[in-house]
Structure 1
Amino acid sequence: MTSTHIDVNVIDLDVLGAWMDEQGLPGGEFGAVEPVAGGTQNVMLRLTRGGVPYILRRPPLHLRARSNEVIRREARVLAVLRDTPVAAPRLVAACPDETVMGGAVFYLMEPVDGFNATVGLPEPHAGDPAIRHRMGLEAASALAELGRVDPAPLDGFGRPEGFLERQVPRWTGELEGYSALDGYPGPDIPGLARTADWLERNRPRDFTPGIMHGDYHLANLMFAHDGPRVAAIVDWEMCTVGDPLLDLGWLLATWPDPDGQGLIGGGIADLATAQEIVACYTALSDRDLSAIDWYAVMACFKLGIVLEGTHARACAGKAPKDIGDALHATTLALFSRAETLMA
């Protein structure tokens, strides 16, 4: 879609232009407007106005119960991160008022000059093992930078008190809820009970609250074209204030094996090892990483249960069977990785 005429049910350019004028943004005609491919159901559009480029992000056309709230939360976090060294998209302006654009909130951010490594590697990355190795360390460095941000401006954003204690009951309850779907025989996940028990027995006693991305893995990172630096951490829809070490655990739970095969994205060889990632984070953070295996196991447990939800819906005829089968296989792989970490 390259025309300035796009479906007004998605975005009304006249309304957008008037709102941008109110924000004191550069005026002028809208140039090319085109969709940005992404891994979520939220809508992203690349556009220009007065020669200035923007990315607009809004909920899907068919709003769900929390669609607007998710976008409001993203915008609030990006506003806090805007003047920090964290590699996050730079927020330009946000419209939390759903009455402005036909029921949907939205925000504008600056475009990110980077690429998604799980889609493909450009040069010099593709031809330089040293750059690929450093990419993993840069992923750890970018996460450590996020962990240093004071979450105080996000008062009321999350519920850090009791955050770790809630995890196993929360996700066990989620899994049990899938049984309400007709056709789902229940979870066939080896090691499920043992993993839940191990997590409860080995849970860290305390932590320092911080801003969490919530879904920190290779596919949600954009890397700079000229080197291994993380240009931006993207897709903040699961952000909260909790224990940032769970983000590190999430990265470890999904990180590609030494041969380049990964649970989320693969085919990238010579990346830093999980042990090197932990060492890099440790050197850049004052957080206690003595229980890092717990966080990695917790990430395997939570993500495995989330993915099992699609398998359950597939069994009930509410999702494609091939996708459900593939994600169930990933769930089993995650619990297998958890078993290794618990050994």
Structure 2
Amino acid sequence: MTEIDFGAVTRWMDSAGLPGGPVEDVQPIGGGTQNVMLRFRRGGSNYVLRRGPRHLRPHSNDALRREIRVLESLSRTEVPCPQIVAACKDEQVLGGAVFYLMKPVDGFNATVALPDLHASDAAVRHAMGYSAVDALAALHAVDHERVGLGDLGRPEGFLTRQVARWLGELESYKRHDGYPGSELPAVAEIADWLEARVPTSWTPGIVHGDFHLANLMFAQDSPAVAAIVDWEMCTIGDPLLDLGWLLATWPDSENPSPAAAHVLGAAGGLPAPAELIERYTARSTRDLTAIDWYTVLACFKLGIVLEGTHARACAGKADKATGDLLHRAAVGLLQRAEAIIAGARTCWATQST
């Protein structure tokens, strides 16, 4: 039924002083493609267990340790995020996997299904888009030094490292047997465009690293964000990459992408990208002059990240259908980056005449 050794989990829970008794109502939680998540009940309390993927990758446990640290630090802020009950950073307890228990979030994933309130009212869906931006602005307003995350990342040179870092990641996929190599479009051209235009002035802060609608839980009775989830890519860097990430994955009927093909996008009524930028501007002092650059970087980076699942699927280490889907999404993201670059060039040419 599950891939979790609940005997090991319950022994660890007992040692941590959590309520005892039999494990009941175990249910897998879907919606993701990587980490294993299960809901269960024990001793009158409900929990969600989160661990790395079934086939642990070299840095899966480090990523979970990072996520645990971030969530514990943000629990003292106004940022909506899951509440950790207890965390096990010892890999030996659960067959080599770090894991943690959190309280279930009273919310829903809007990319999977919509409650009647949200499905029936376009104004509510419009407000959901603004709530996503508000949650992001709240995160970016956190003083990372004050909450104890000053050493989480290396903000110096953060932007200048990005292109080389992700080109190297794409090259590393060749290690997977059966992977034919990257067929992503215009990788070199996009990389050149990015490296020629790196912003030189920005303020470091917390970067979620994977901020899009599928990683938000919305309240059942309002358009508010109940929790931002999936923090394993969090670091200290330029937070505007998160806004670029949201824009890169935002549903767009004129430039559709598999990365933004989901229930909420199909329902319509969401704010336009320009409205998201205006909303963020009203809630932040950050300079959005180069937001196209951040959006192109987000398309580039996320496309390469998704291609990694395709490479693992070719090697039999991930589901083939999922790998194929994410490859198509990666292609769509690179095509969206090309469209943004073309639009920027057109705008520049118009202004120059």
Q: Is the 8 A contact 1:11 1:101 kept in 2?
A: no
- Post-superposition Cα deviations, 1:19-44, rounded to whole Å, max 9, x if no partner, equal 231xxx5x343452413313144332
Q: How much does 1:236 deviate?
A: 1.4
Change beyond 3 A, Cα 1:111–1:180: closer
- Rounded to whole Å, the distance in 2 between the matches of 1:144 and 1:331 is 27
1:36 and 2:23 are equivalent in the alignment: no
When the two chains are superposed, the root-mean-square deviation of aligned CA atoms in Å is 2.6
| 1:209 to 2:207 alignment | no
When the two structures are superposed, what TM-score results if normalisation uses the length of structure 1? 0.87
**What is aligned with 1:243?**
238
Q: Is the 8 A contact 1:296 1:338 kept in 2?
A: yes
Deviation at 1:299, TM superposition (A): 0.5
Q: Is the 8 A contact 2:26 2:41 kept in 1?
A: no
CA 1:272–1:7 in structure 2 vs 1: closer, same or farther (change >3 Å)? closer
Aligned residue in 1 for 2:162? 167
SS of corresponding position for 1:154? coil
Distance 1:82 1:206 in 2: 30
Matches within 5 A, 1:122-133: 122-133=115-126
The answer to whether 1:134 aligns with 2:127 is: yes
Which amino acid is the alignment partner of residue 302 of structure 1? K
Aligned equivalents of 1:205 and 1:13: distance in 2?
48
Asked whether 1:257 is paired with 2:252, we answer yes
Q: Which residue of 2 aligns with 1:20?
A: 16
CA distance in 2, matches of 1:183, 1:121: 39
Name the amino acid aligned to 2:243: L
Q: Secondary structure at the match of 1:57?
A: strand
Q: Normalising by structure 2, report the TM-score.
A: 0.85
1:112 to 1:168, Cα distance in 2 relative to 1, 3 A: same
| Matching of residues 174-193 of structure 1 within 5 Å | 174-180=169-175, 184-193=179-188
Cα gap change, 1:67 to 1:193, in 2 (>3 Å):
closer
Match of 2:346 in 1: none
Q: Does 1:293 align with 2:289?
A: no
How far does residue 182 in structure 1 lie from its aligned partner after superposition? Answer: 5.8
Amino acid at match of 2:11: V
Q: Matched residues in 2 for 1:82 and 1:151: separation?
A: 13
SS, match of residue 56 in structure 1: strand
Partner of 2:190: 195
| Distance in 1 between residues matched to 2:87 and 2:309, nearest whole Å | 32
Output the CA distance in 1 between the equivalents of 2:176 and 2:9.
41
The DSSP-based 3-state class of the residue aligned with 2:301 is helix
Q: CA separation of 1:174/1:97 partners in 2, compared to 1, >3 Å: closer, same or farther?
A: closer
User: Structure 2 vs 1, CA of residues 331 and 55 (structure 1 numbering), >3 Å: closer, same or farther?
Assistant: closer
TM-superposed deviation, 1:198 = 1.1
**Counterpart contact for 1:261–1:268, Cα < 8 Å:** no
Structure 1 residues 28 and 182: CA distance shift in structure 2, 3 A = closer
Matched with 2:60 is 67
1:313–1:207: structure 2 CA closer, same or farther, 3 Å change rule? same
Residue of structure 1 equivalent to 2:306: 307
Q: Using a 3 Å threshold, how does the CA distance of structure 1 residues 69 and 285 change in structure 2: closer, same or farther?
A: same
Unaligned runs of at least 5 residues, structure 1: none
Question: Residue 281 of structure 2 aligns to a residue in which SS?
Answer: helix
Unaligned runs of 5+ in 2: 344-353
Task: Please state whether the residue corresponding to 1:232 is helix, strand or coil.
Answer: strand
Quick check: 2:216–2:228 contact (8 Å CA) kept in 1?
A: yes
CA distance in 2, matches of 1:34, 1:234: 21
Equivalent residue number for residue 221 of structure 1? 216
In structure 1, give the amino acid aligned to 2:331.
Answer: L
8 Å contact 1:31–1:51 — kept in the other structure?
no
Give yes or no for the alignment of 1:82 onto 2:78. no
State percent identity of aligned pairs. Answer: 59
The one-character-per-residue Cα deviations of 1:21-78 (angstroms, maximum 9, x if unpaired) are 1xxx5x3434524133131443323233432322222334654433322221111000
Q: Give me the whole-angstrom Cα distance separating, in 2, the residues matched to 1:20 and 1:182.
A: 42
SS of equivalent residue, structure 2 residue 331: helix
2:101 match: 108
Query: Are residues 1:53 and 2:46 paired?
Result: yes
**Displacement, 1:197?**
1.2
Q: Shift of the alpha carbon at 1:175?
A: 2.2
SS of match in other structure, 1:247:
helix
